């Protein structure tokens, strides 16, 4: 028997909130063309604030055609282009605006936002720092800098930046959300949960906040509260595939497989191309013993994400359970090709080779894992099985004993050690092991 376990796959999004700032220019101009440019800029702002970004871009461009030296319109155009995902054009416009007006903290902050979207996090941080040098009380720049710091892997400084933003603007919901997400990522779950609750008191219907809050509850081990929160979300937002997905995974981890299947099937009905939902649903089917469904669902997900090592491993495991060691070996090898440092897949490959009768290949796989991970009890147990099948009963007993030392709660390791001891003509010691195996798993009964 193999001692490896299943690995689920789940990807939770943390919704980070970063917004840019716009610039209005209300000053009266003596030149009519400049005055018309101001009007067009302000009209563009109204369209932008109402979500009509394409119309806003046209108006900002018209304003600049009348007055090319209009830094506020250039900054606003950059912000609108950034909103459309045209980050390179946005950065160019922000740079031009700053060349005209180097002391504009809002434009410097907007440049930081565009660089953040380009994943140029260190450049983004630098731009935000410049904005804060120009305006030390610019809460929005602190929030944006926090997001860039967090994305660069510096959660500690990100948390400090978010806290500073909130000192300046205590009811700043985006900063509250981002602070809670950063605290959650650093396992400061109690404070994260409190911060999410503060944010939800200000915006109780925010789907992003509700989802992040539920995830934090789950991360904190407060599973029932998390499940209740996810159920509330899907009741209010039945089209929310992400919440159905997270609910399904959480139910799966609790062993509530029927409920997990229902939630994950709902996820895929809403979003059929979500490979991670396929992988989690396949795990639930596998737990129910519905191996044909599990295999088909893994294959559907792998058609979308063919390089997902853990899904390849789990599919190999499903084929192994379905008594198809040839296909199992193929998928375990594919998992290893994708992620070389993968002891579970190496053990799975060894178990498949053992079922195929290739004991030498199986032994080689288990020995390799033990060389890399001497404390791996599953590899020791499986090596014992190979040695037993080769008739090397003393070596098998030694391997089983080592597995039991590393993990005393493996009932089959105790049982198989008992079988090896019987072959070594030590029935009294064998009975001790059979008794322990039965204590751990009452379904295991000693041989007569």
For residue 406, with 0-12 CB atoms within 10 Å meaning exposed, 13-18 middle and 19 or more buried, which class applies?
middle
Out of 185, 206, 221, a domain closes at 221
- Three-point CA angle 178, 206, 228, nearest 5°: 95
3-state secondary structure of 209: helix
For residue 195, what pLDDT is reported? 97
Q: Which of 221, 245, 269 is the last residue of a domain?
A: 221
Q: In the prediction, which pLDDT does 448 show?
A: 78
**Residue 261, in any domain of the structure:** no
**Which pLDDT belongs to residue 20?**
56
In a domain, 394, yes or no: yes
- The rounded Cα 48 to chain-centroid distance in angstroms is 32
pLDDT band at 210 (very low <50, low <70, confident <90, very high): very high
Q: What is the pLDDT of residues 161-172, one digit of tens each?
A: 999 999 999 999
Q: What is the C-alpha to C-alpha distance for residues 251 and 444, in angstroms, rounded to an integer?
A: 29
Residue-wise pLDDT for 78-105, tens only, equals 889 988 999 899 999 889 999 999 999 9
Residue 6 in domain: no
Check if the beta carbon of residue 60 is closer than 8 Å to that of residue 80: yes
In order of 48, 104, 174, 299, 436, the CA distances from 88 in angstroms are: 19, 20, 25, 38, 67
Q: 135 in a domain, yes or no?
A: yes
* Nearest partner of 72 among 53, 59, 87, judged by Cα: 59
**DSSP string of 37-68, one letter each residue:** HHHHHHHHHHHHHTT-HHHHHHHHHHHHHH-S
Last residue of a domain, one of 189, 221, 253: 221
Q: Which residue has the higher pLDDT, 36 or 187?
A: 187
Residues 360-364, mean pLDDT to the nearest whole number? 97
68 plus 212 within the same structural domain: yes
Q: Which two tokens stand for residue 331?
A: 């998928």
Instruction: State the alpha helices, DSSP H only, in 139-253.
Output: 139-151, 155-168, 173-185, 189-202, 207-219, 223-236, 241-253
In a domain, 252, yes or no: no
How confident is the model over 354-381, as a mean pLDDT? 96
In this prediction, residue 49 carries a pLDDT of: 87
Distance between CA atoms of residues 109 and 398, nearest Å: 65
State whether 16 and 164 are in the same domain.
Answer: yes
What is the rounded average pLDDT of the residues 169-185?
Answer: 96
Distances (CA, A) of 345 to 24, 55, 260, 368, 418: 59, 54, 25, 12, 27
pLDDT value at 3 more than 70: no
Tell me the residue range of the domain where 388 lies. Answer: 357-448
Q: Which pLDDT tens digit goes with each residue over 14-34?
A: 344 445 555 444 333 334 566
Average of pLDDT values for 119-130?
96
pLDDT at 400: 97
In the prediction, which pLDDT does 33 show?
64
Q: Is 390 a domain residue?
A: yes
Average model confidence (pLDDT) across the chain: 91
Q: Which of 225, 156, 160, 216 is nearest to 192 (CA)?
A: 216
Number of domains forming the structure of the chain: 2
- Domain presence at residue 321: no
Instruction: Specify the pLDDT at position 340.
Output: 83
Q: Residue 378 has what pLDDT?
A: 96
Give the H/E segment covering residue 368: helix 359-372
pLDDT of residue 10: 30
Given a cut of 90, is residue 230 above it in pLDDT? Answer: yes
Least confident of 30-34, 145-149, 352-356, 428-432: 30-34
| CA distance linking residue 150 with residue 84, whole number of Å | 23
d(CA 216, CA 146): 19
Give start and end residues of each alpha helix (H) in 237-342.
241-253, 257-270, 275-288, 291-304, 309-321, 325-338
Nearest to 415 by CA among 399, 388, 435, 389: 435
Of the candidate ranges 15-29, 68-82, 226-240, 395-409, the one whose mean pLDDT is the lowest = 15-29
Among 321, 312, 263, smallest CA distance to 290 is for 321
**Residue 5 reports pLDDT greater than 60:** no
Q: Are residues 47 and 191 in the same domain?
A: yes
Q: Does residue 264 lie within any of the structural domains?
A: no
Q: What average pLDDT does the segment 270-296 reach? A: 97
CATH (domain of 442): 1.25.40.10
Average pLDDT over residues 292-300: 98
In the block, residue with structure tokens 């199992």: 328
Closest C-alpha to 262, from 233, 277, 405: 277
Q: What is the pLDDT of residue 365?
A: 96
């Amino acid at each position: 028997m193999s001692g490896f376990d299943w690995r689920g796959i789940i990807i939770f999004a943390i919704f980070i909130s970063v917004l840019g700032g716009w610039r209005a220019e209300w000053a009266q101009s003596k030149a009519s063309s400049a005055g018309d440019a101001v009007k067009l800029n302000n009209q563009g702002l109204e369209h932008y604030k109402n979500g009509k970004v394409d119309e806003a871009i046209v108006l900002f461009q018209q304003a600049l055609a009348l007055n090319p030296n209009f830094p506020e319109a250039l900054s606003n155009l950059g912000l609108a282009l950034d909103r459309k995902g045209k980050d390179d054009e946005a950065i160019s416009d922000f740079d031009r605006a700053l060349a005209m007006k180097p002391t504009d903290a809002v434009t410097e902050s907007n440049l930081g936002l565009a660089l953040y979207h380009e994943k140029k996090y260190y450049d983004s941080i630098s731009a935000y720092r410049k904005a804060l040098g120009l305006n030390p009380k610019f809460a929005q720049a602190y929030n944006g800098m926090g997001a860039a710091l967090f994305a660069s892997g510096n959660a500690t400084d990100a948390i400090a930046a978010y806290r500073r933003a909130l000192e300046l603007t205590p009811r700043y919901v985006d900063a509250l959300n981002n602070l809670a997400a950063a605290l959650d990522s650093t396992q400061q779950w109690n404070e994260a949960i409190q911060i999410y609750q503060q944010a939800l008191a200000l915006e109780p219907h925010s789907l992003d906040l509700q989802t992040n809050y539920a995830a934090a509850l789950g991360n904190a081990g407060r599973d029932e509260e998390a499940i209740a929160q996810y159920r509330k979300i899907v009741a209010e937002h039945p089209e929310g595939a992400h919440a159905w997905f997270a609910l399904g995974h959480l139910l799966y981890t609790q062993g509530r497989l029927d409920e997990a299947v229902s939630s994950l099937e709902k996820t895929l009905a809403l979003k059929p191309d979500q490979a991670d939902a396929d992988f989690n649903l396949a795990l639930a089917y596998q737990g129910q013993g519905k191996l044909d469904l599990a295999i088909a669902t893994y294959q559907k997900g792998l058609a979308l994400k063919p390089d997902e090592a853990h899904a390849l491993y789990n599919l190999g495991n499903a084929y192994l359970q379905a008594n198809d060691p040839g296909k199992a070996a193929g998928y375990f090898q594919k998992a290893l090709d994708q992620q070389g440092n993968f002891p579970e897949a190496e053990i799975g490959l060894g178990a498949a080779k053992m079922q195929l009768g290739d004991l030498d290949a199986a032994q080689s796989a288990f020995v390799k894992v033990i060389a890399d991970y001497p404390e791996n009890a599953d590899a020791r147990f499986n090596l014992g099985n190979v040695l037993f099948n080769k008739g090397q009963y003393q070596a098998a007993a030694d391997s089983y004993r080592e597995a039991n030392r590393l993990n005393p709660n493996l009932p089959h390791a105790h049982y198989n050690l008992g079988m090896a001891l019987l072959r070594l003509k030590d029935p009294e010691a064998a009975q001790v092991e059979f008794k322990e195996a039965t204590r751990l798993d009452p379904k295991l009964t000693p041989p007569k």
